[in-house]
Amino acid sequence: MKEWNPEEFLREQAERKRNIEEEKKSMDLEKELAAPLNPLRRESLSEEERLYNRCKERSLYLLTGAAKTERRLREKLQKSEHYTEEIIERTLSFLKEYDYINDYRYCMQYLEENAHRRSAKDMQSKLYGRGVDGSVIREAMEDFQRKHREEVEESSFEEQRETDPERIALKRWLEKKSRNMDLSDWKERQKLTASLLRKGFSYSMIQEYLQQEEWETINNRGYIFKTK
C-alpha cells in the first residue's frame, strides 16, 4: 500500500482546484462569446450591449493577426469611432480577464525575438513606444536576463560572453555597419561608434570590440568583423 504523503496530497488538491477553475473560466468565456450569436438574446440586448459585443468581436479579430499591447489595441478601437470610452474599457477588461492581452507576456515574446538583434536599451525604448508601462518592461527584462543567466550558469566565462544576447547583437551591427568603411581611419571609427551608440549599445562595449578584434578587407567591399 502506497504511503500517504501530505505534501503530495496538497499539491494534487491544488492542481485539481486549478483545473476546475480553468474549466469554469473556459466555459464562462464560451458563453460570453456565444451570447451575441443567439438571435433571441440579440433582440433583447440594449444598444449599448450590442456595441459592447461588437467591440469584443472586433478586438478578437484584431488580435488574430498578431499580439498587441493594451495601448495599441485601445488606439485601434478609438480610431474606429464606433465605441464609447466606457465600452472600450469594458472590452479591455474582458480581454485581460481571459488573458487575450497581457503586456508582460508581450514584452517577454518581444525580448525573445529581438534580443540577438537589438540592444537592451533599444528594446526598452521600443516597448515604451508601444505603450507598455515602465514597471512591466523592467520586470520582463529582469526575468529575461535571469532566465538567460540560469541557462548559461554552468558554462565557462568565455562561453557566457559568446552567448550574451547584447554582445551577439553588437557583433551583428558591427558587421553590418562596417561594410564599405575604412576602419583604419580614426574618423570612420568615430562614425561607426556614434552609429552604434544611437542603437543603444554602451560606449565601453563598443570600444572593447573595436580594440580587441581585428579587421580585414575582403572582396574590395570594406571591412568585416573577425574574431581572434
Q: What is the pLDDT of residue 224?
A: 45
On whether both 40 and 76 belong to a single domain, the answer is yes
**Band of residue 176 on the pLDDT scale cut at 50, 70, 90:** confident
Range of the domain at 109: 103-158
The DSSP letter of residue 225 is E
Residue 69 and residue 115 share a domain: no
> Which residue from 180, 155, 166, 179 is spatially nearest to 209, judged by alpha carbons?
166
Classify residue 93 by burial, with Cβ atoms within 10 Å: 0-12, 13-18, 19+. Answer: exposed
Task: Clarify whether residues 93 and 107 are in a common domain.
Answer: no
Does the pLDDT of residue 33 top 70, yes or no? no
Last residue of a domain, one of 56, 71, 97: 97
Q: Which of 46, 72, 97 is the last residue of a domain?
A: 97
CB count within 10 Å of CB 70 equals 19
Confidence category of residue 167, pLDDT binned at 50, 70, 90? confident
- Among 39-43, 65-69, 191-195, 222-226, which is the least confidently predicted range? 222-226
Q: Is 224 helix (H, G, I), strand (E, B) or coil?
A: strand
Q: For residues 210 and 189, what is the distance between their CA atoms, to the nearest angstrom? A: 8
Q: Are residues 84 and 61 in the same domain?
A: yes
pLDDT computed for residue 227 by the predictor = 42
pLDDT at 158 over 60: yes
Q: Is residue 13 part of a domain?
A: no
Decide if 67 is inside a domain: yes
Q: Are 145 and 160 in contact (CB under 8 A)?
A: no
Query: 223 near 181, Cβ under 8 Å?
Result: yes
Nearest to 137 by CA among 105, 96, 102, 107: 107
Structural domain includes residue 5: no
- Residue 10, in any domain of the structure: no
Provide the number of structural domains found in the chain: 3
Position 162 confidence tier, pLDDT thresholds 50, 70, 90: confident
Q: Rounded to the nearest 5 degrees, what angle is found at the Cα of 119, between the Cα atoms of 117 and 121?
A: 145
**34/89 same-domain check:** yes
The whole-angstrom separation of Cα 87 and Cα 59 is: 12
Residue 169 counted as domain residue: yes
Task: Choose the weakest-confidence range: 18-32, 102-116, 181-195.
Answer: 18-32
Domain shared by 143 and 78, yes or no: no
Q: Quick check: helix, strand or coil at residue 214?
A: strand
Maximum mean pLDDT: which of 23-37, 167-181, 188-202: 188-202
**Degrees to nearest 5, angle at CA 108 with 106 and 110:** 70
- Beta partners for 223? 217
Q: Which helix (H) or strand (E) holds 136?
A: helix 134-152
Q: Is residue 125 in some structural domain?
A: yes
Task: Judge if 70 and 132 occupy the same domain.
Answer: no
Q: Could you say which of 53, 75, 97 is where a domain stops?
A: 97
In a domain, 113, yes or no: yes
Mean predicted lDDT score pLDDT of the chain: 79
* Residue 191, Cβ density class (10 Å: 0-12 exposed, 13-18 middle, ≥19 buried): middle
Lookup result for grid cell 501530505: 6
Q: Does residue 147 sit in the same domain as residue 191?
A: no
**Report for 9-18, 100-109, 151-160: range of highest mean pLDDT:** 100-109
Domain identity same for 38 and 70: yes
Mean pLDDT across 20-43: 55
| Same-domain status, 114 and 146 | yes
Angle (CA) 27 98 112, round 5°: 130
- Asked if residue 8 belongs to a domain, the reply is no
